[in-house]
Amino acid sequence: MKNNIVKSLPLISILYLGLFSSVSAGSFELSSQDISHGELMSKTHEFNGFGCSGSDLSPHLKWSGAPKGTKSFAITAYDPDAPTGSGWWHWQIVNISNNINEVITGAGNITKDLAPKGSNQIINDYGIRGFGGACPPSGHGIHHYRFTVHALSVEKLEIPPSASGALAGYMINANTLESRTIESLYKRD
């Protein structure tokens, strides 16, 4: 039995090193000056409409350490708690060049032209192109808003201008090498 253990040590060492390097290889990070994981967002990021009266500004997002082979980025903002049966797409922006690593507060407002050049903002579930802020139904409790940056394996996603959130989500997920999420919270009393 002792010989079997000794013979297995090189294999165990290789498996351990492989596991350790795959765990430590991921250095893709996401941060924000505006939102924090597990914390309530400010009214700045609340929608202005549908009974909500916020400033409707997309949050600042900054990322670093994208995986090797990243050719572009996409950003999504999604509320899985929306009482729709399919959640709610608040923002999807695709075709962000791989030399970009940050979007400023308000980049989701298409009238201000603050999004990275060459990117494409998809129509959200409010029916408008760009960012639409949090607006959970009054008394519905806390909703979770997942702001995710996706490192993509393609330079450009071929998505029609009128693409649904589901189609954009499918194309993003099909080409994602790695992603990072900040899950912020929001509620209306």
- Longest Cα–Cα distance of the chain, Å, equals 73
Tell me the pTM.
0.85
Q: What is the mean pLDDT of each run of 10 residues along the chain (189 residues)?
A: 43 34 63 98 97 97 97 98 95 97 98 96 96 96 98 96 92 98 95
For the segment 133-184, what is each residue's pLDDT rounded down to a tens digit? 999 999 999 999 999 999 999 999 999 878 999 999 999 999 999 999 999 9
| Nearest-angstrom CA–CA distance, 183 and 136 | 15
| Token duo for residue 83 | 């009482």
The string of DSSP codes covering 112-169 is: TT-SPTT-EEPB-TTSSBS---B-PPTTS--EEEEEEEEEESSS-----TT--HHHHH
**Residue spans per domain, the chain:** 27-186
The pLDDT, as a whole number, for residue 59 is: 98
CATH code for residues 27-186: 3.90.280.10
